C-alpha cells in the first residue's frame, strides 16, 4: 500500500495560517523541520505520517508507531525485496507499509529489531553521538580466551576503512559463547571483530538496544513499545 504524498508548501498551507508562497521564506529561515531535519524545498514530498514542525510546533497529527520485533533467521531486513521474505511480512498492522527499519540485522542474524514511522526518532537512535549500546549473544567456532576481552576493549583495527572500532564490552559466557555490547553498527562489525582472531561466528542474536530488551517476546513475534519503555530509554 502506497501512502499519498503532497508537496510541502501545500501541506504548510493546509496545516497553518501561512500561504503557499510563504513556505519558501519559512524554509530559508529554517523554521520548518521535516522528520528532524530542516526542510529542503517547497517541492519536498510529505505524507500523513511525516513529522513536520513549524517554529517547533508539530503540524502533522498521524499517530507515531514504535514496534519491537524478534527477527528469525532467513528474513531480509528491508521493507521490500523481490526475492526473499522481509521482516515486514511478519507484521500485522493497518499501517505497516509506512514503517521503516531502525538498525538492520543480517539475513541469518536473529533478535531485536525496531521499526517505526517516526523518522526523527529513528535518526536519534542511529546517531553516533547517542552512543546507544547494542548487546548480542554470539556463538563461535573456536574457543574464546581472555585476550579477546582486552582486544575488544582496546578496539579492533579495520584496514579497509582505516579505522579502529570503539571500545566494546565482551563477556565470555562459555568456551564458545559470549555476550558483546557495542555502540557502533558498522557493516558486519561483530563478525569482522571476531574474524580478527580467525574465529567464525556461527550464530548471532541481538538481545537489547539501549534499555529496550526482548523480554519474553517469542521469535517471529512483534509488539508495540510502551510509553514507559520509550521514556526509560530516553527516546520519547
The model's pLDDT over 120-150, given as tens digits with 9 standing for 90+, comes to 788 888 877 778 899 999 999 999 999 999 9
Distance CA 234, CA 227 (A): 11
pLDDT per position as a tens digit, 69-113:
999 999 999 888 888 899 999 998 877 888 889 989 999 999 999
DSSP-assigned letters across all residues of 50-115: S-EEETTEE---PPP-EEEEEE-TT-BSSS--SSS-BGGGG---TTGGG-EEES---TT-EEEEEE
From 106, 118, 232, 236, the catalytic residue: 106
* CATH T-level assignment (fold) for domain 66-128+212-232: Alpha-Beta Plaits (3.30.70)
Q: Assess whether 236 carries a catalytic annotation.
A: no
Query: Of 122-126, 171-175, 212-216, which has the strongest mean pLDDT?
Result: 171-175
The chain-wide mean pLDDT, for the chain, equals: 90
Share of the chain above pLDDT 90, in %: 64
What's the pLDDT score for residue 127? Answer: 78
Instruction: Please list the residue range(s) of the chain that carry CATH number 3.30.70.580.
Output: 66-128+212-232
Instruction: Please list the residue range(s) of the chain that carry CATH number 3.30.70.1560.
Output: 133-209
Grade residue 1 by pLDDT with cuts at 50, 70 and 90: very low
Pick the CATH number of 133-209 from 3.30.70.100, 3.40.50.10320, 3.30.70.1560, 2.60.40.10: 3.30.70.1560
Does domain 6-58 match CATH 3.10.290.10?
yes
Amino acid at each position: 500500500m502506497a501512502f499519498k504524498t503532497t508537496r510541502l508548501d501545500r501541506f504548510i498551507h493546509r496545516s497553518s495560517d501561512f500561504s503557499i508562497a510563504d513556505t519558501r521564506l519559512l524554509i530559508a529561515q529554517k523554521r520548518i523541520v521535516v522528520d528532524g531535519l530542516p526542510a529542503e524545498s517547497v517541492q519536498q514530498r510529505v505524507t500523513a505520517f511525516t513529522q513536520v514542525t513549524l517554529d517547533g510546533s508539530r503540524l502533522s497529527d498521524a499517530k507515531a508507531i514504535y514496534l519491537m520485533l524478534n527477527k528469525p533467521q532467513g528474513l531480509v531486513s528491508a521493507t521490500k525485496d523481490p526475492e526473499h521474505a522481509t521482516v515486514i511480512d511478519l507484521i500485522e498492522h493497518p499501517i505497516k507499509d509506512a514503517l521503516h527499519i531502525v538498525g538492520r540485522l543480517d539475513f541469518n542474524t536473529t533478535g531485536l529489531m525496531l521499526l517505526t514511522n517516526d523518522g526523527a526518532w529513528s535518526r536519534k537512535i542511529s546517531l553516533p553521538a547517542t552512543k546507544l549500546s547494542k548487546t548480542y549473544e554470539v556463538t563461535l567456532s573456536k574457543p574464546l580466551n581472555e585476550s579477546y576481552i582486552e582486544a575488544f576493549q582496546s578496539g579492533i583495527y579495520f584496514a579497509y576503512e582505516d579505522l579502529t572500532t570503539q571500545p566494546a564490552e565482551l563477556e565470555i559466557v562459555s568456551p564458545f559463547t559470549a555476550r558483546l555490547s557495542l555502540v557502533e553498527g558498522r557493516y558486519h562489525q561483530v563478525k569482522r571483530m571476531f574474524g580478527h582472531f580467525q574465529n567464525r561466528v556461527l550464530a548471532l542474536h541481538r538481545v537489547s538496544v539501549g534499555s529496550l530488551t526482548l523480554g519474553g517476546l517469542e521469535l517471529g513475534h512483534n509488539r508495540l513499545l510502551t510509553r514507559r519503555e520509550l521514556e526509560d530509554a530516553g527516546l520519547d
